[in-house]
Amino acid sequence: MTLLHEHHADDDAEGRRTPCVTADDGWADPLARGALAGLVRRAHGLSAVDRLPQPEERVAGTLRMLPGFLSLRAFEPVRQILATRVEYLNEGLAPESFDPKDGTPRYQSPEPSLWLIAAAELYVRRSEDTDFARKVLFPALEGVMQFFRAGTHHGVCVDTDGLLGVTRAGVIEKRADLNALWSHALVAMAQLARGGGKREHGAFYLAWAHEHQRRFVEAFWDNEAGCLFEALRDGVPVAGLSASQLLAVSHAPSLLPGPLATRLFDTIERELATPFGLRAAPGDTEVETEWLGPWHAARLRIAGRGEAARRRVIDELESLRRLLAIHGGPDRMPARISLTERAPAGGAISPLASAELLRTWVEELPHHEPVPAGVPA
C-alpha cells in the first residue's frame, strides 16, 4: 500500500477537506503497515483481524479498522469487507465472529451492526460509490434500523424510553457505549439517506438522533463521578469507568454538551489515560493500545483542534514511538504495554490500534507544518 495519495481531513461542520500528510511524515507509513498486516482472506471473504496472532476474528474489531483503511483511500478492500458483512446480516445483526474451523457466523451483540453502519457511511462519503450505497448498503442497513426498532429474537430492541437495549435472561441492559454507537448510527443513516436522495428518510433519522442524544445525556450522565454510567440494568444505573466511554465524545457529533464532554475527558485522563495506552480500570499497571486513536481524537475535538491540544497529542505520540523503537518499531503496535516494565506485555500485536491511530493522525490532526520525525521508524 502506497501513501502517495493526497489525504484530506475528516469532514467538519463546514464540510472542509484540507490536505493532511505526506508519506514521509514518520507516523503514517509505519501505522499503515501495522494496520494492513491485519488483512486476511477467509472462507467468507476478505477480512481484517484486529489482533495477531489470533485465529478468530472479532467482527466489531474488523469494522473499527475500516476508517483507518479509508484514510489510505484503500477503497476496494473496504468495499469487499462491507459487502460480506451485509450479506451475513441476520435480523439486523452482523456476525459477532466466525467459527475458525468451518466459518459459521455467530450472532449475539448489536455492536458489529453499529460499527458496520458507521463504516459504510464513511466509505460512501470518501469513495462516492453511490451505486453500491443505493443498491446494497442503504437497503440492508435500513433493515438493521427497522429490526432494532421492532425487536429481534436475539433480544436487541429500542426500548420505550428510546434507548437501545439487549435482554438476556429476563434482564434488559442498556450500555452507554452501545447507545453512543446507536446515536452515531442514526446520524450516519441520515447522511446515507440524504446522499441517496431520500430526504424524508434523512430528516426522520436526524430527528431520531436528536431525541436519542437528549435521552442519552439524561440517562447516562453520572454527575457525581464526572463520567457516564456504564449501563442501565433494568433501569438501575451501573457506575463505572471504561475507555469505551470515549465513544460519546471522540466521534462527531459529540453526544455530550461542551462542559460535560470536558469533564468526561478529564476523568478519563486522570484515571485511565497514559501516553502508551488506556487502563481497563483505575490503578492497572498494564494498558491497552486500541483506544489511543479515539483518546487523541477526543482531545483534539474537545479543544477545537487548537495548537496546545495538537502539540500535546504529538508529544505523547513521540513518547510512544520512542518506546516502540526499542521493541520492534511502530509498525508492530503491541496490544498491551506494561507501565512498570515500559515494554510490551505479552506477544500480541494490534492492527486495530494501528488503524485507529492512523485515522486520527491523518484525519484529525491539522498538519499545517512539518511534524518532527522523532525516533526513526
**What pLDDT band is residue 367 in, cutting at 50, 70 and 90?**
low
Look at residue 11 and tell me whether its pLDDT is greater than 60: no
Other C-beta atoms closer than 10 Å to the C-beta of 262 total 15
DSSP 5-60: SPPBPPP-TT----B---TTSSSHHHHHHHHHTTEEEETTEEEE-SSBS-SS-BHH
Q: Which of 307, 301, 292 is nearest to 371 (CA)?
A: 307
Q: Which domains does the chain have, with CATH numbers?
A: 28-363 (1.50.10.10)
Statement: residue 259 has pLDDT above 50 = yes
Largest Cα–Cα distance of the chain, in whole Å?
A: 56
Q: How many CB atoms lie within 10 A of CB 120?
A: 28
pLDDT of residue 54: 75
210 Cβ neighbours under 8 A, 6+ residues apart: none
pLDDT bin (cut points 50, 70, 90) of residue 307 is very high
At residue 370, the 3 state secondary structure works out as: coil
pLDDT at 99: 84
Spatial CB neighbours of 16, under 8 Å, sequence gap ≥ 6: 9
- pLDDT on residue 23: 55
Q: Is there a contact between 188 and 180 (Cβ–Cβ < 8 Å)?
A: no
pLDDT at 15 over 80: no
pLDDT at 43: 81
Stated pTM of the model: 0.91
What's the distance, Cα to Cα, between the start and end of the chain in Å? 17
Q: Using one digit for the tens of pLDDT, what is the confidence trace for 126-178?
A: 999 999 999 999 999 999 999 999 999 899 999 999 999 999 999 999 999 99
For residue 376, is pLDDT > 90? Answer: no
Asked whether the predicted pLDDT for residue 6 surpasses 60, the reply is: no
